[in-house]
């Protein structure tokens, strides 16, 4: 395969930051999971409005990306891959619409519904294969998290412990045939046996497409939370260590770890199990909440803009999805000094 690089990122966060006090007035303090460490609230999060679509969010992130890579590079991509946590319509993804809005005539438009909180690794892997095998030259990747505003602020849902955790946002990434910022390797784990352990809950038992008044939410139970905690603590270190072994690396060789941002507990556990200190693990949870699949690219983008990602850094991007049905890790040599010399 020819070299493929993650060359640039941009992000979009809707609205003004929303403080935790918004939820405290509604929370049921005696709820079964109210004090669980998995649901300890971030200080802030952003919330998308009801009428702002995933495509709207992608378009705004793409405009910022275009300022960094140029309009010609943006419009010249031949692959567009999207992932939205909450698709606006059941039948189609956002890829074709956002490509049209941006003036892109892509040969490949893929809307990947799977991958969850590790979906950026999933999208990066797809782009790397298409570009690396010569079927494309560049790709535009979009990750949208958009359930915090529309779902978690519903009157019945905002009372639940899970409501305080998510935030909304979108990231756009530019990937191309290049050795400037090469993707060194990707490792994934698919665990289909866990797919039914995390899904939608409706208190009246209806299907989500059937008429009714119950409000959609995830519906965590103590048993499910216990399983998710065990799997999450294990799966991210497993894929990171597996990729390190594949590439002949040790965790000491990693300059920066960027993971999904589910809660403080997972972030601490991953650092401990990988022997990586907080100074090498980017943490945006308290600022943005759980951004699900958008967390890795948004956190990376903010790390770059804030000067925490130096040229030549060895990055490890990693995460796990849902109740553990997917996990992935990707190693990137960010703006390799050797390649730019």
CA distances from 256 to 75, 178, 183, 253, 312 (A): 31, 22, 14, 9, 11
Percent of the chain at pLDDT > 90 equals 85
Tokens read off for 87: 């698709």
Per-residue model confidence as pLDDT tens digits over 232-287? 999 999 999 999 999 999 999 999 999 999 999 999 999 999 999 999 999 999 99
Which residues make Cβ contacts (< 8 Å) with residue 211, sequence separation at least 6? none
Which residues make Cβ contacts (< 8 Å) with residue 177, sequence separation at least 6? 2, 3, 4, 5, 131, 132, 137, 138
| Cα pseudo-dihedral 152, 156, 158, 161, rounded to 10 | -100
Right CATH for 184-340 from 3.40.47.10, 3.40.50.1970, 3.40.50.920, 1.10.357.10: 3.40.47.10
**Cα atoms in the 13 Å half-sphere on the side-chain side of 125:** 18
Q: 145 has which bridge partners?
A: 169
Where exactly are the structural domains of the chain?
4-179, 184-340
User: Do 4-179 and 184-340 have matching folds?
Assistant: yes
Statement: residue 338 has pLDDT above 80: no
Statement: residue 292 has pLDDT above 70: yes
Q: Domain 4-179's class?
A: alpha beta
In this prediction, residue 341 has a pLDDT band, given cuts at 50, 70 and 90, of very low
Instruction: Please provide the distance, in angstroms rounded to a whole number, between the alpha carbons at the two ends of the chain.
Output: 22
What is the mean predicted confidence (pLDDT) over 287-307? 98
Between 97 and 29, name the one with better pLDDT. 97
Residues 198 and 293: beta-carbon distance below 8 Å: no
Per-residue model confidence as pLDDT tens digits over 1-56? 899 999 999 999 999 999 999 998 998 776 777 778 888 999 999 999 999 999 99
Report pTM.
Answer: 0.96
Tokens read off for 68: 């960094």
Task: Sort strands 183-190 and 169-177 into parallel, antiparallel or unpaired.
Answer: unpaired
Statement: residue 340 has pLDDT above 50: no
Between 87 and 340, name the one with better pLDDT. 87
Q: What order of strands is seen across the sheet that includes strand 169-177?
A: 4-12, 169-177, 138-145, 79-84, 108-111
Strand segments, DSSP code E, in the chain are 4-12, 18-19, 44-45, 79-84, 108-111, 138-145, 169-177, 183-190, 256-259, 314-321, 326-333
Q: 331 has which bridge partners?
A: 185, 316
Nearest to 26 by CA among 151, 163, 150: 163
DSSP3 helix / strand / coil % (the chain, rounded to 5): 40, 20, 40
Handedness of CA 284, 324, 14, 77 (dihedral sign): positive
In this prediction, residue 94 has a pLDDT band, given cuts at 50, 70 and 90, of very high
What is the mean predicted confidence (pLDDT) over 312-334? 97
Percent of the chain at pLDDT > 70 equals 98
In this prediction, residue 81 has a pLDDT band, given cuts at 50, 70 and 90, of very high
Classified as helix, coil or strand, 45 is strand
């Amino acid at each position: 395969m020819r070299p493929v690089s993650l060359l640039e990122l941009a992000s979009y966060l809707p609205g003004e930051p929303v403080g935790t006090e918004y939820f405290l007035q509604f929370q049921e303090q005696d709820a079964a999971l109210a004090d669980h460490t998995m649901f300890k609230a971030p200080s802030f999060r952003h919330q998308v409005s009801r009428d702002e679509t995933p495509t709207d969010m992608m378009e705004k992130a793409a405009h910022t990306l275009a300022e960094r890579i140029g309009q010609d590079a943006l419009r010249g991509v031949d692959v567009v891959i999207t992932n939205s946590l909450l698709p606006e319509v059941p039948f189609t993804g956002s890829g074709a619409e956002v490509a049209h809005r941006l003036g892109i005539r892509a040969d490949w438009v893929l809307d990947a519904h799977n991958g969850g909180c590790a979906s950026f690794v999933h999208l990066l892997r797809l782009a790397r294969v298409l570009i690396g095998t010569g079927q494309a030259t560049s790709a535009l990747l979009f990750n949208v998290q958009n359930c915090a505003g529309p779902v978690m602020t519903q009157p019945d849902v905002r009372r639940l412990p899970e409501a305080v955790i998510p935030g909304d946002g979108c990231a756009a990434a530019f990937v191309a045939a290049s050795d400037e910022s090469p993707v060194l390797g990707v490792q994934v784990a698919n665990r289909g046996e866990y797919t039914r352990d995390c899904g939608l809950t409706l208190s009246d038992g209806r299907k989500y497409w059937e008429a009714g008044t119950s409000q959609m939410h995830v519906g965590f139970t103590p048993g499910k939370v216990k399983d998710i905690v065990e799997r999450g603590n294990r799966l991210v270190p497993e894929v990171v260590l597996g990729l390190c072994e594949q590439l002949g690396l040790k965790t000491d060789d990693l300059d920066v770890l960027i993971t999904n941002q589910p809660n403080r507990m997972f972030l601490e556990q991953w650092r401990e199990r990988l022997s990586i200190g907080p100074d090498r693990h980017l943490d945006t949870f308290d600022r943005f909440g759980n951004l699900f699949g958008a967390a890795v690219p948004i956190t990376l983008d903010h790390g770059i803009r804030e000067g925490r990602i130096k040229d030549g850094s060895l990055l490890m991007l990693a995460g796990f999805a849902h109740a553990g049905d997917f996990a992935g890790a990707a190693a990137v040599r960010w703006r390799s000094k050797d390649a730019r010399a």
